[in-house]
Amino acid sequence: MPQPSNPLASDRRGVMFVISSPSGAGKSALSRLLLQSDKDISLSVSVTTRPRRPSEVDGVHYHFLSVKAFEALRDRGDLLEWAEVHGNFYGTPRGPVELALAEGRDVLFDIDVQGTLQLYTKMRSDVVSVFILPPSIPELERRLRRRAEDTDAVIARRLKNAEGEIAHWGDYDYVLVNADIEKCFGELKQILAVERMKRHRQTQLGEEIARLNAELAAEAARLS
């Protein structure tokens, strides 16, 4: 007998998986691990006016734009959200996200609190948000310095902004402390796994229920 299709394995709307944290809390490393280990999620590549770091590749980590080009995109309504963070503009291109969600693919967003709040107002039921906390502020500073790609002034600015960012922990669906990256990554994967199964994302459930009801009716008729 043919097996019924499993509605939990496919035919669902994609998750907008948002990860935010103060700079240095380990969000980028967690994002990288997730993207490497899970083929069903892809990164929303943001546009930014920040200068490219030596290790970054244009089109992979960000699309690096002039302020003028950024403003043109924004003013045309091509950004799903945008914000000024640490003195630079960042934004999420709309097209790739809308396409992925409609095709049932998940999208990972490495965006700040302001961007997360904008996504809530537009697409709250699609968004699952996770805030990553550092285990301590000295550890946060150590991680920022270890990256060794930013100047002292940039690091100082990012540390100064951490307080305001951490204050928004209560706006997120989940909060994780990244003391141990493996443990934190495991928790992140669990969140994504259960969120994928949420009823409102199972777009085929109506058909599954109709099929079960038809089978019930047929069985009732056979037994009467």
For binding to ligand 5GP (CB under 6 A), which residues are involved? 20, 23, 46, 50, 81, 83, 85-86, 90-92, 110-112, 114-115
Could you tell me how far CA 85 lies from the centroid of its own chain?
Answer: 17
At 106, is the secondary structure helix, strand, or coil? strand
The nearer residue to ligand 5GP, 52 or 183, going by C-beta atoms, is 52
Cβ 5 to ligand 5GP shortest distance, Å: 36
Residues with Cβ < 8 Å from 89, sequence gap 6 or more? 47, 48, 49, 67, 70, 74, 82, 83
Q: Which residue is nearest to ligand 5GP (CB)?
A: 115
CA distance 17 to 41: 9
The nearer residue to ligand 5GP, 83 or 140, going by C-beta atoms, is 83
Cβ 216 to ligand 5GP shortest distance, Å: 48
Cβ 119 to ligand 5GP shortest distance, Å: 9
The nearer residue to ligand 5GP, 14 or 91, going by C-beta atoms, is 91
Cβ 112 to ligand 5GP shortest distance, Å: 4
Q: What is the DSSP string of 45-71?
A: --EE-SPPPTT--BTTTBEE--HHHHH
The nearer residue to ligand 5GP, 90 or 185, going by C-beta atoms, is 90
Residue 158 CB: number of other CB atoms within 10 A? 19
